[in-house]
Structure 1
Amino acid sequence: MSKNKKSIEQDNQIDYVEKEKENATLFDQLTNKNQEYMIKLNRRLDDSSVSTERKTLILNDMLKNIVAEQANHMTARSIYGTVTDQARFLIEGKQGIVEKPVERSESWKIYLDGALLLGGMFAVITGISYFTGNEDAGLGFITLLLNFILGGFAVMVITKYAPKPGVKGGFLKYIVATTTTMLIWIMLMAFGTALIPAVINPVIPGPYTMAVGLLAFLAKWYLKKRLDIKGTLI
């Protein structure tokens, strides 16, 4: 064996040893549920005679990803699916490549997109009501502003609890979070705005309210592309 080839093999061996140490450190940072997932996956890979070197690289990629996503309350199962599905993918695949979770933009971007979406939607609905016969239709200035402010918070909550593949009870949490959020919004708009003095909450006529809504939709479309906002409702 040439010296160069022997040196390369020694370097590769050192790299695997370092990754194994890193894997142990990352494993200790996992939640109990995620540790259980990785233990079961490791057994499946051993049962299928996956080489130690390949398994080390696979687990290293997955562990880094899971540790990073734990801060977003995502589990290993929500990222990779069931242990059986992930093991089949890794064993039958040609390489130890793992799928990345769907990206989600920063909270302020989600808030901005949601505020423009729901605030604009209610403004447009009010405008449509005016043009279909309700000449008194319109929103107070403060009321219109609150629709945008509360709409952003509503979308943040809804997208946070949106069902994720492989997470048990995810749909139930989503229903509870969505229902609670909408009820709070309706109560605030119905009772809260009634307490606002008319002098500081002048009604904006239906046509102008609708124009505000349409501008909000245009702003949403533009900013979603410009800021590359991901993980929103639409």
Structure 2
Amino acid sequence: MLKKKKPVEQEPEVTVADKKQENDVLFEQLTNKNKEYMVKLNRKLEEAGFPEDNKILVFNEMLKNIVTEQPNHITARRLYGTATDQASHLTDSGQGEVTKPVERSETWKIYLDGALLLGGMFAVITGLSYVFGDQEAGLGLITMILNFLLGGLAVMVITKYAPQPGVKGGFLKYIVATTVTMLIWILLMAFGTQLLPAVLNPVIPGPYTLAIGVIAFGAKWYFKKKLNIQGTLI
């Protein structure tokens, strides 16, 4: 005899009312500062006539993100900008779509990716200039190592202070942090390595400098995919 197939059990549909109930639970898990943010945002959306059902769905996603990031000391304002700007974004979108925060990998992954990117880029440019310029000299060993180390630091600063939508003063902090980092890099490369004795900074021939740069680029793309590095420059 053929066995009767068991009917496939369908998962119960999640309603807006269920989302609202879940929102109430999530809201109680917020810090006082984040609660204040959500209260302000709710008031501004009500004043703008934002649809109630859309608001419940948007808040559900926002609250989940905020609760997840609270242990990392990341506030709702840092995730979504000011309540005023987030309300403007939601009302202007017409669909009630929430701005999702950009996920960034761990600091050491950002550093590794940046070191290989900028260090490799500098080595390739220098190697090409020497190869096509018919010169045999290349970068000093310590100079090249510093380029990789400072390249990672530069990318860390740039990604950390990258302006976020709705955050006032974010662009100014980004410009200042990036400018200071680049100045330090240039000064160390221009003057710091000149003070080193030649015996401590042996010159790497141009073709080898180029090869090191190409290998660094290959390693950058490999580790970016292998480690799933997110939030970098390229």
What SS does the aligned partner of 1:204 have? Answer: coil
Percent identity at matched positions? 60
1:77, 1:83 within 8 Å by CA — same for their partners in 2?
Answer: no
| 2:88 paired residue number | 84
Q: Mark the CA change 1:85 to 1:14 in structure 2 (over 3 Å): closer, same or farther.
A: closer
After TM superposition, the score normalised by the length of structure 1 is 0.77
Compared with structure 1, are the counterparts of its residues 97 and 158 closer, same or farther at alpha carbon in structure 2 (3 Å cutoff)?
closer
The whole-number CA distance in structure 2 between the counterparts of 1:182 and 1:198 is 25
Say whether the 8 Å CA contact 2:114–2:152 is kept in structure 1: yes
Query: Which amino acid is 2:36 matched to?
Result: Q
AA in 2 matched with 1:192: G
Shifted more, 107-116 versus 123-132: the winner is 123-132
The secondary structure found in structure 2 opposite 1:130 is helix
Unaligned segments of structure 1, at least 5 residues:
1-7
Matching residue of 1:181: 181
Taking the aligned partners of 1:131 and 1:79, their CA distance within structure 2 comes to 55
Checking the alignment, whether the CA contact within 8 Å between 2:143 and 2:201 is kept in structure 1 is yes
Per-residue displacement from partner, 1:44-85 (whole Å, max 9, x unpaired)?
44453855x875564343233235446357243279953122
Deviation at 1:168, TM superposition (A): 2.1
Q: How does 1:120-139 map to 2 (within 5 A)?
A: 120-133=120-133, 135-139=135-139
Which among 3, 14, 28 is matched to residue 24 of structure 1?
A: 28
Trace 1:64-103 onto structure 2 (pairs within 5 A). 64-69=64-69, 71-72=73-74, 74-77=78-81, 81-87=85-91, 89=93, 92-93=94-95, 98-103=98-103
**Letter matched to residue 35 of structure 1:** E
| RMSD of aligned residue pairs (Cα, Å) | 3.1
Answering whether residue 195 of structure 2 is matched by residue 195 of structure 1, we say yes
How many aligned positions are there?
215
Q: Deviations over 1:99-121 (max 9, x none)?
A: 42122111111111100011111
Q: Which has the higher helix share?
A: 1
The TM-score, its normalising length taken from structure 2, stands at 0.77
Structure 1 residues 191 and 79: CA distance shift in structure 2, 3 A: farther
Residues 78 and 205 (structure 1), Cα distance of their counterparts in 2 relative to 1, 3 Å cut: farther
Structure-1 residue corresponding to 2:9 = none
Q: 1:181 to 1:78 in 2, by over 3 A?
A: farther
Question: How many angstroms apart in 2 are the aligned matches of 1:174 and 1:116?
Answer: 22
Deviant stretches of 4+, over 6 Å: 12-15
Letter aligned with residue 233 of structure 2: L
> Is the counterpart of residue 155 in structure 1 residue 159 in structure 2?
no
Distance 2:74 2:135 in 1: 47
Deviation at 1:98, TM superposition (A): 3.7
Question: Secondary structure of 1:26's match?
Answer: coil
Structure 2: runs of 5 or more not aligned: 1-11
**Contact 2:110/2:156 (CA < 8 Å) preserved in 1?**
yes
